[in-house]
Amino acid sequence: MNHDLINTLDGFMSATDSLSKIIFSGETTTPLPMAYQVNFPRLELVVDGSIEMTIGGYADDINKIQQTRSTALFVPPDGWNKPEWMSPVTTLSLLFSKQQIGFSLMHWSGSNFEILAKDHITISKSRICELLIQALNEISLQTEHQDTAIQLVKALISFSIESLRDTKTQYSRGYALFNAVRNFIEKNYQQPLTRESVAAEFFISPNYLSWLFRKEGHITFNDFINFVRLERAKYLLKRFDITIHEIAQQCGFNDSNYFCRIFKKKTALAPSEYRKQFRINQ
């Protein structure tokens, strides 16, 4: 699986018609129905063919682009894009979470989807990835710096290739299970998840679940759940004028006081202060 992804990315980087323009999706507009939106930054590439894409803007506008191999789309956290699946195209999506990179290589024949490769890897040098993403977020509002944006995207792709090469081609059964549990939590964070309830979903003991997160994710089970929920809370605080209690409930915190304590512990700001600071900076 890694071999297919490495070959695809190597071929993409070496092609003479790759990456002559970087387009940035925004997060200020309400996503269209069926649009793709997650809490993590993404890089959308076209390996072969072309595809029409609708993306959010930065000033309440919606833009349409025609994406080819020469155009990369960078989608910041909570940004969105809506592909129009018409003519045949092969795409590669890279999703960057706290300590992992997700890869999804897909082909659309014009009538059917085929997943060519799909994987998640843990990255050992996450600080490098974080700095590259941060730089792309900063430059997204300065479209005149295309040359810099292109070099940053190339560096991010090169980092992803190196991370794939550093990863064992065959993951352990434990790593595969960890990925399955992580995906389950990211889809069900609004539910009252506990160590016992999640362990029961996968027919393992709570103690084994805790060990799995420490070994494969380098994070505790509770810290990961809180991370997913707090990232969603940040998005809601920035985008919607709903109460702190409502945000806590929507993010899986039954006790809004506990939510406020955890939020301040992780961000050094109370939820209301975070919302106020974000709006001052806009």
> Could you tell me if 41 and 121 lie in one domain?
yes
Can you tell me the distance from the alpha carbon of 270 to that of 103, in angstroms, rounded to the nearest whole number? 35
- pTM here? 0.62
Give the number of domains in the chain.
2
Question: What is the per-residue pLDDT for 229?
Answer: 94
Lowest mean per-residue pLDDT among 19-33, 150-164, 250-264 = 19-33
Nearest to 18 by CA among 51, 43, 48: 48
- 132 has a pLDDT exceeding 80: yes
Q: Report the chain's terminal Cα–Cα distance, integer Å.
A: 42
- 171 has a pLDDT exceeding 60: no
- 271 has a pLDDT exceeding 70: yes
Domain, as residue range, for 59: 2-166
The domain boundary, picked from 132, 166, 200, lies at 166
Nearest to 129 by CA among 172, 106, 86, 158: 158
> Could you tell me if 98 and 157 lie in one domain?
yes
> Could you tell me if 112 and 235 lie in one domain?
no
> Could you tell me if 91 and 154 lie in one domain?
yes
Question: What is the per-residue pLDDT for 1?
Answer: 52
> Could you tell me if 65 and 150 lie in one domain?
yes
Question: Does residue 114 belong to any structural domain of this protein?
Answer: yes
Average pLDDT of the chain to the nearest whole number: 88
> Is 67 within 8 Å of 74 (Cβ atoms)?
no
Burial (CB count within 10 angstroms: exposed 0-12, middle 13-18, buried 19+), residue 280: exposed
Question: Does residue 210 belong to any structural domain of this protein?
Answer: yes
Helices (H) and strands (E) in the chain, counts: 10, 10
- 29 has a pLDDT exceeding 80: no
Question: Does residue 123 belong to any structural domain of this protein?
Answer: yes
- 169 has a pLDDT exceeding 50: no
